[in-house]
Amino acid sequence: MAEENCHRGVQGHCGRGCLKPIGVFDSGVGGLSILKALRSQLPAEDFVYLADAGFAPYGERGDDYVIERTRVVVDRLLRAHQVKALVIACNTATAAAVHLVRAQYPGLPLVGVEPALKPAVALSKTRRIGVIGTRGTLTSAKVRTLHDSLKDQADFVFVPCDGLADAIQNDDAGQITQLSARYMQALGSFGGEEGQIDTLVLGCTHYPFAQHYLAAHAGENVKMIETGEPVARQTRRLLEAAGLLKAEGEGSVTLLTTGSQQALEAAARRWLGI
C-alpha cells in the first residue's frame, strides 16, 4: 500500500513546476518494480531513479543507518535534480524514515510503500495470509501497528527473508532458488482449505522480480500482492491535487546509483525493457 504526503495546489493548472522530474529511490534495483508501475500510470512524466546500491542492503541494518542513508539520498534528489515529488520505493526506508522526510519537507508530494496487509485481508478467503519482507520491515513499529489493526480479521504469518533481496539485487539465480524454497517452506501450507495460506504479501519491492521462484512453491491459485500499482495511482492523485501533473509528452528515465551503473542498467533492461 502507499504512504502519502501532499501539498495541495491549484488543480488543473500546470506551470513550470510540472516539468520537473519525479524522484524514485530504493536501496537497489527492487524499486524498479515500482518505477515500472509509475511509468505505466504516468507515461508523460520524467523520472530520476536512484539506487543506493553502494550502501545496500538496508533490510538487515538498523533504523539509524537507514534514516541516515534516506536523508542523504533525498537531499541529493532535491538539490541536484529539483524533483517535484518523491517516491520512496523501499519498504524498509518507508518504515524507518518516511515520517522524518514528511516532517522535513511538508510541501513535497511524498509516497512511500508498506506491505499490503489491508488489500490481502480483502482478498483472502481462508483468512490466513503470508507476509514476506526484510527483517527491518517486518519488525518495524509501522508494520506492528498495521498488523495490530488487522489481526482480528485474519491470521498473518510473517517470515523475514534474510538475504533474498540481496540475491535478487545480484541476479543470483541459484541463491534466489534456494532462499525462495527455504522461506516459502517456513510459511507453511498453501491452498484454499481452512488453515492454509491463500494470499501472499510481497513486502519488499525486490520480490516481484522473484515471483516465479516463489510461485513454484505456492501453487497457481495463491494470490501474490505487490504495491506497484497502488503506489502509482497514489502518486498520480497527489500530482493532480498539487497541480504538478505533466499530462502530455513522452517521459524519460534517468538511472543513478551509488553502486554499479552497469548492473543497474542491466537490471532496467531486463525488467523494464529500457
Say if domain 2-114+228-272 classifies as CATH 1.10.3720.10.
no
User: Which are the catalytic amino acids?
Assistant: 90, 204
Task: Report residues of the chain scoring pLDDT below 50.
Answer: 4-12
What is the rounded CA–CA span in Å between residue 244 and residue 44? Answer: 12
- Domain range annotation of the chain: 2-114+228-272, 117-225
What is the rounded CA–CA span in Å between residue 173 and residue 68? Answer: 31
pLDDT tens-place string over residues 194-209: 999 999 999 999 999 9
> What pLDDT is stored for residue 9 in this prediction?
36
pLDDT tens-place string over residues 34-66: 999 999 999 999 999 999 999 999 988 899 999
Asked whether the domain spanning 117-225 has the same topology as the one spanning 2-114+228-272, the reply is yes
Is the previous residue joined to 57 through a cis bond, with omega within 30 degrees of 0?
A: yes
> What pLDDT is stored for residue 10 in this prediction?
36
Q: Classify residue 148 by burial, with Cβ atoms within 10 Å: 0-12, 13-18, 19+.
A: exposed
Give me the helices (H) in 54-199, please. Answer: 63-81, 91-104, 117-123, 135-138, 141-150, 164-169, 173-187
Which amino acid type is present at position 106?
P
> What pLDDT is stored for residue 2 in this prediction?
60
Closest CA to 85 of 17, 11, 27, 28: 17
In CATH, the number for domain 117-225 is 3.40.50.1860
What is the rounded CA–CA span in Å between residue 63 and residue 237? Answer: 30
> What pLDDT is stored for residue 198 in this prediction?
98
